[in-house]
């Protein structure tokens, strides 16, 4: 008896609305792009738009004034002092934090014992609430009862009003900023050091790099390039957005000697309710951050060795 033929199934008709690869890519990336716009680009554009108005918090309306806020910034002594102090703060704290942090990371990783303990100790300032630590810093730097002045008195140094003198307040804040950023930099550099294979040090020593400086120059420093770029970028951003120490310890005084950009922006926006003027200060701050990041990337990225 002949076998019955197998049933034939007709091939499905081609989809009329088949998406191309480009359309599918746009469709899949649409949620992420929408989130990016709503959370980052949208507020940034709104901020720039507000910087061209005279809007005050609580006012019934606003007026488009063009570059009026930016022209006022050029004549505002408080803003100019804050811009100068912020750039000086970055110039002092960032290189000192990176240099000292790298040195401490090398010393800790070069040791054989208590690595985890030292990592926890140096990372402690990062996890501490700096506003709460302001009380401790006020005591340490107190002009009469502070331990710092008492220690200096042993060497015949007269008491210094660290937080109340125009000559010393910014340097005091820089010292606190160094303490705040040092642990973060140390931990990042130690992570970069542990990623370097030990075989490279042995090979370099066989090739004649027998001193620690030679091994650091030929092996450690080139392979720390990506970590260094990340550390420089993050530390610069952390230094540029200094705010809490100023707000808790000095309030920008005395005589605007410790005033910084974010503190001026906060006071203009939430103390004097000049939202448009505060938005202009924020736009300048973002421009400074962007310019600094571009300069760092152009200079450092060309010298980085990516394994």
pLDDT in tens, 69-102: 999 999 999 999 999 999 999 999 999 999 999 9
Give the model confidence (pLDDT) of 179-204 as tens digits.
Answer: 889 888 988 998 888 888 888 888 88
Integer CA distances (angstroms), 213 to 6, 12, 193, 209, in order: 80, 71, 15, 8
Q: Which residue range(s) make up the domain with 183? A: 68-303
Domain contains 48: no
Domain contains 13: no
Which span out of 5-19, 28-42, 237-251 was modeled with the highest average pLDDT?
237-251
Check pLDDT > 90 for residue 124: no
Q: What is the pLDDT of residue 149?
A: 93
pTM: 0.84
Check pLDDT > 60 for residue 103: yes
Check pLDDT > 50 for residue 3: yes
> Which phi and psi angles does 53 have, rounded to 5°?
-120, 170
User: Is residue 268 within 8 Å of residue 281, measured between CB atoms?
Assistant: yes
| Rounded Cα distance, 270 and 201, in Å | 55
DSSP letter for 301, please: G
User: Is residue 196 within 8 Å of residue 219, measured between CB atoms?
Assistant: yes
| Rounded Cα distance, 204 and 277, in Å | 58
| Rounded Cα distance, 278 and 50, in Å | 9
- Reported as a pLDDT band with limits 50, 70 and 90, residue 16 is very low
CATH of the domain at 182: 1.10.3720.10
User: Is residue 162 within 8 Å of residue 168, measured between CB atoms?
Assistant: yes
Domain contains 30: no
State how many domains the chain has.
1
Q: What is the pLDDT of residue 303?
A: 63
User: Is residue 248 within 8 Å of residue 130, measured between CB atoms?
Assistant: yes
Domain contains 214: yes
Domain contains 176: yes
SS (H, E, C) 38-90: HHHHHHHHHHHHHCCECCCCCCCCCCECCCHHHHHHHHCHHHHHHHHHHHHHH
- Reported as a pLDDT band with limits 50, 70 and 90, residue 12 is low
Q: What is the pLDDT of residue 112?
A: 63
Tell me the pLDDT of the chain averaged across its residues: 85
Domain contains 245: yes
Integer CA distances (angstroms), 54 to 57, 180, 195, 269, 276, in order: 10, 37, 53, 12, 5
- Reported as a pLDDT band with limits 50, 70 and 90, residue 113 is low
Domain contains 205: yes
Of residues 37 and 71, the one with the higher pLDDT is: 71
Domain contains 156: yes
């Amino acid at each position: 008896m002949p076998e019955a033929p197998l049933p034939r199934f007709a091939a499905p008709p081609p989809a009329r609305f088949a998406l191309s690869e480009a359309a599918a890519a746009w469709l899949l990336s649409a949620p992420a792009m929408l989130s990016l716009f709503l959370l980052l680009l949208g507020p940034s554009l709104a901020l720039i738009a507000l910087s061209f108005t005279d809007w005050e918090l609580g006012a019934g309306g606003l007026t488009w004034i063009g570059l009026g806020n930016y022209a006022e910034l050029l004549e505002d002594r408080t803003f100019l002092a804050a811009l100068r102090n912020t750039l000086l703060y970055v110039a002092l704290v960032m290189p000192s934090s990176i240099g000292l942090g790298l040195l401490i990371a090398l010393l800790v990783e070069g040791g054989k014992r208590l690595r985890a303990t030292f990592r926890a100790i140096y990372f402690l300032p990062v996890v501490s609430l700096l506003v709460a630590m302001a009380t401790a810093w006020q005591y340490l730097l107190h002009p009469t009862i502070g331990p710092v002045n008492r220690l200096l008195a042993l060497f015949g140094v007269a008491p210094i009003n660290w937080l109340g003198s125009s000559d010393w307040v910014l340097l005091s804040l820089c010292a606190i900023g160094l303490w705040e950023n040092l642990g973060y930099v140390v931990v990042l550099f130690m992570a970069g050091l542990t990623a370097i294979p030990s075989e490279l040090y042995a090979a370099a020593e066989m090739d004649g790099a027998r001193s620690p400086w030679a091994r650091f120059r030929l092996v450690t420093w080139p392979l720390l390039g990506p970590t260094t770029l990340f550390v420089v970028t993050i530390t610069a951003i952390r230094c540029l957005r200094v705010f809490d120490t100023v707000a808790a310890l000095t309030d920008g005084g005395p005589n605007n000697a410790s005033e910084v950009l974010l503190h001026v922006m906060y006071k203009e926006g939430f103390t004097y309710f000049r939202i448009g003027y505060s938005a202009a200060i924020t736009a300048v701050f973002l421009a400074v951050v962007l310019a600094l990041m571009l300069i760092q990337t152009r200079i450092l990225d060309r010298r980085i060795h990516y394994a």
